[in-house]
Amino acid sequence: MRDEQRKPTLSKVINAIKATLITERGMPNEINLFDLPRNQVRVKIRKEFREEIFSKLLAKYGSFSGVAKATGLSRGEAARRYFIERSGMPLSFLERICLLTNISRKDAQHNVVELKTIKSKESIKNPKLPFRITPKFALAVGGVLGDGGIEKKKCRVWYFNQEKEQIESFTGAVKDSFGEVNFARHRSISGTPCVIFPKIIGVILKIIGLQDGNKNYQHKVGVPEMLLNSRDKKVKIALLQRLFDDDGTVVNHHNNRCVSFIAPKITPKEEIVEQPKILLDIRKILLEFGIESAICTHGKNIKSTEITTNWEIRIRGKENLQKFYEKVGFGLERKQKTLKAVLDRYVDGLEFYPRHKAREHYLNAIKELKQKNIRATAKSIAAACKRNQRRIREILAKLTKEGLLYRTLEQKEFVYEVVE
């Protein structure tokens, strides 16, 4: 085609489409055929429909040469080739003939039977157009953001995971979302199972905001807006479940009980390290379910030219953990059972309060004991706060070291008082 002699790069085309996809249709809940890069995608259409549109073109322009001239092709043989459809036709050509024959884009989309990128052998057969933003679609996106990725050059989608259940649910979600698609199974050098999907899947996912490359370098990439602003709670639950299944963990320790999501980020030494957008987006979604969380770091690995910062989002406190367990939860049964074990360790009737107000809570409890003429020992404070004595002794030692408490030895045990 004449206007295809200077094809823009795939990344530039995708960025242009991504920039207009939301602004033109508000917040869409689907991806249509003509949202895809016109000059990078090739389609095959149903035989009866193909014959119908070419009969209209030939009736209007007289010959394949006339059709070629009207549609911007270099010669009539090209138009004839698309009529025979040995390898499909560019999406841009289908768009032109829709305009020339007054055939609706919706009808054209409905008659597509195969979808692939230019020069690619692998395709989506019987594509489920339009591609809808469903829980299965969200699961697939979560997998790519989690233990998956998109190749930089070939744009293929890959997903690694040691657990067979995760591999199978990811492949099933991709097929349910896009259609009949072949994929390859491999193993990494360390033996981790991997599945690789063709380029057309990567192209579609990049349109909604995903980027190629290793996730550790994508600290400015978050949840795609189509999912982040979706009104479907099931979509957001599916996304969170896959993210926490892949990169989340349950900490079950007497001094640290939480659900965390880890996002290590590799940045050049001179670059200012900011909170990863993926964590900011996760925190925003969690708040929609009434779950409070905090973003923090737990160490850095500094090399000659780059820094790996271990970012983490943590969900703490029984109330927040209970909400996560009931409203979101893990897709992996073993992690969900571990979270249940954490919840079962909490004392019935235990009072909960924000972690940043813990100091104030303990100091007030000691003051109240003094007002009631009760000696503020580790035993009485533990009973008042409904905590075990081991935990209370750790807290009292810390508050004493900070100068907020002083203690005196009475009858072979320490009695605590608040420093006014």
What secondary structure letter does DSSP report for 115? E
Element at 253 (helix H, strand E): strand 248-253
Q: What are phi and psi of 277, to 5 degrees?
A: -65, -35
Q: Which of 384, 381, 391 is nearest to 413 (CA)?
A: 381
For 173-216, the pLDDT digits (tens) are 999 999 999 999 999 888 999 999 999 999 999 999 998 876 65
CA angle 241, 247, 342 (to 5 degrees): 70
Looking at residue 188, its pLDDT comes to: 85
Backbone φ and ψ of 333, nearest 5°: -60, -40
Q: Which residues contact 409 (CB under 8 A, 6 or more apart)?
A: 415
In whole angstroms, what is the distance from residue 191 CA to residue 162 CA? 9
Q: Pick the closest to residue 158 from 122, 207, 212, 116 (CA basis).
A: 212
pLDDT tens digits, 137-171: 999 999 999 999 999 889 999 999 999 999 999 99
Question: What is the pLDDT at residue 221?
Answer: 83
**For residue 5, pLDDT beyond 70:** no
Q: Is the pLDDT of residue 22 over 80?
A: no
* Antiparallel, parallel or unpaired: β 193-197 and 157-160: antiparallel
Strand spans (E) along 151-207: 157-160, 180-181, 184-187, 193-197
- The tens digit of pLDDT for each residue in 246-259 reads 999 999 876 688 99
Residue-wise pLDDT for 401-415, tens only, equals: 999 999 999 988 999
Residues whose CB is less than 8 angstroms from the CB of residue 165 and which lie 6 or more positions away in sequence, other chains included: 332
Per-residue pLDDT band for 354 (boundaries 50, 70, 90) equals low
Q: Which domains does the chain have, with CATH numbers?
A: 243-344 (3.10.28.10), 355-418 (1.10.10.10)
